[in-house]
Amino acid sequence: MATFSVTQPRKSRVLTGFMALYLLYTLVPLVWLVINASKTQPALFSTSGLSFGGTFALFDNIGQTFTYNGGIFFRWLGNTLLYVVVGAGGATILATAAGYGLAKYRFPGRRAVFAVVLGAVAVPPTALAVPTFLMFSKLGLTNTPLAVIIPSLISPFGLYLIWVYAADAIPDELLEAARIDGAGEIRIFLTVTLRQLVPGIITVTLFTMVQTWNNYFLPLIMLSEPKWYPLTVGLNQWSAQANGAGAQPIFNLVLTGSLLTIIPLVVAFLLMQRFWQSGLSAGSVKQ
């Protein structure tokens, strides 16, 4: 009989099979995307979805994607990067500072803030899109990058995550020691706290980054000029071109564009994986 231990648990055939199926389910769309991004438009219409179509046109498609319509794809890529760097980056900074503050300082109204933040987590951003639009329109900010960036700066979930994480990861004793040594609160935050919070910050960065990268509805209603579109809205416009009178389908470019769009996210996940994993399990065991 085999013996099982904590490090060598019993294997479950059912679970393994289930996971294999799940892996397949996750990978098939990706494989489909890669295969079909390598086809020309006519081949796309004449060959089956999961087989290569005669010619290998991936590089040609990439070239076309970047040059179609005066290189607008490049502009959309730049917009998306801008929204992610400023929006998601700013959201992470704000969430970190606020989460830490709420976790480690006692002040009146703290419970009220807690309630508001939890409530905000529950409201889907899509539901707020139209009221936000009307508000921004009054401010004259619609159809500008700010209309996408400012709402992205707020990440109630990120704030909550840092809050919970900071409460556990930073012992009060550490702060007391720093204060006794004569460090100011800002200095403590920058030199002591931030380092402790790195796994949490990386996790929040990933969350806000994915959220901003994939943000569709808000930019869709905020922006009317294609020159400010992020990739999501732009690609959808390309896809919608296949519809109705005077349709000009460019599915090959939509597919190649989609493939190019997910690459930066995949790279980001691979690079930050280490930190992210340690962040997820933090606080789950008592040390």
Q: Is 34 in the site for another protein (CB under 8 A)?
A: no
**Shortest distance in whole angstroms from residue 43 CB to another protein:** 10
**Shortest distance in whole angstroms from residue 240 CB to another protein:** 4
Report which of 146, 126, 282 is spatially closest to residue 216, judged by C-alpha positions: 126
Q: Is 15 in the site for another protein (CB under 8 A)?
A: no
Q: Which of 20, 30, 116, 242 binds another protein (CB under 8 A)?
A: 242
Instruction: Decide if 86 contacts 148 (C-beta within 8 A).
Output: no
Report which of 92, 118, 285 is spatially closest to residue 197, judged by C-alpha positions: 92
Report which of 148, 151, 155, 169 is spatially closest to residue 92, judged by C-alpha positions: 155
SS3 (DSSP) at 108: coil
Nearer CB in complex with another protein: 159/253 = 253
The residue range among 114-122, 161-169, 176-184, 221-229 that interacts with another protein, by the rule CB under 8 A, is 221-229
**Shortest distance in whole angstroms from residue 93 CB to another protein:** 30
Report which of 242, 229, 236, 271 is spatially closest to residue 257, judged by C-alpha positions: 236
Nearer CB in complex with another protein: 224/277 = 224
Q: Which residues contact 59 (CB under 8 A, 6 or more apart)?
A: none
Report which of 273, 117, 104, 64 is spatially closest to residue 192, judged by C-alpha positions: 104
Q: Is 251 in the site for another protein (CB under 8 A)?
A: yes
Q: Is 220 in the site for another protein (CB under 8 A)?
A: yes
SS3 (DSSP) at 181: coil
Nearer CB in complex with another protein: 6/247 = 247
Instruction: Decide if 204 contacts 96 (C-beta within 8 A).
Output: yes
**Shortest distance in whole angstroms from residue 239 CB to another protein:** 9
Amino acid at 49: G
Q: Which of 40, 61, 142, 208 binds another protein (CB under 8 A)?
A: 142
Q: Is 13 in the site for another protein (CB under 8 A)?
A: no
Q: Which of 45, 74, 105, 114 binds another protein (CB under 8 A)?
A: 45
- Considering only residues 146 to 185 of the shown chain, the ones binding another protein according to CB under 8 A are none
- Residue 140, by phi and psi: left (phi above 0), alpha (psi -120 to 50) or beta? left
- Residue 48, by phi and psi: left (phi above 0), alpha (psi -120 to 50) or beta? beta
**Shortest distance in whole angstroms from residue 251 CB to another protein:** 5
**Shortest distance in whole angstroms from residue 248 CB to another protein:** 6
Interacting residues with another protein (CB under 8 A): 42, 44-46, 130, 133-134, 137-138, 140, 142-143, 220-221, 224-226, 236-237, 240-249, 251
